[in-house]
């Protein structure tokens, strides 16, 4: 596997860990601490990440679109303390 292929897999593995932690975060605040504000905050961050993939209707360059996705992903990372 090429070096680029390995770095791609490492990035995916890291992202997977963040999303796994996001699900745990939701579970903790929905079922254990009963903190609806924390659940809503994470759901909003996830919705922003999802929307960042679709917004712009093709008007953004790939780099601009990726910046939006990365920015929204950083919000999720910050919430799960994986900065």
Q: How many domains does the chain have?
A: 1
Distance of CA 30 to the CA centre of its chain: 19
Domain that holds residue 13: 3-79
pTM, 2 dp: 0.84
Using one digit for the tens of pLDDT, what is the confidence trace for 32-41?
999 999 999 9
pLDDT band, residue 64 (cuts 50/70/90)? very high
pLDDT of residue 48: 96
Q: What is the per-residue pLDDT for 4?
A: 76
Close Cβ partners of 15 (under 8 Å, ≥ 6 residues apart): 73
pLDDT at 6: 79
C-beta separation of 46 from 21 below 8 A: no
DSSP H helices, 1-83, are: 3-27, 36-54, 62-79
């Amino acid at each position: 596997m090429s070096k680029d292929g390995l770095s791609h897999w490492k990035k995916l593995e890291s992202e997977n860990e963040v999303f796994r932690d996001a699900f745990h975060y939701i579970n903790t605040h929905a079922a254990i601490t009963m903190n609806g504000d924390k659940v809503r905050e994470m759901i909003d961050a996830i919705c922003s990440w999802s929307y960042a993939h679709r917004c712009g209707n093709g008007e953004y360059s790939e780099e601009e679109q990726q910046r939006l996705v990365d920015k929204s992903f950083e919000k999720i990372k910050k919430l799960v303390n994986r900065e």
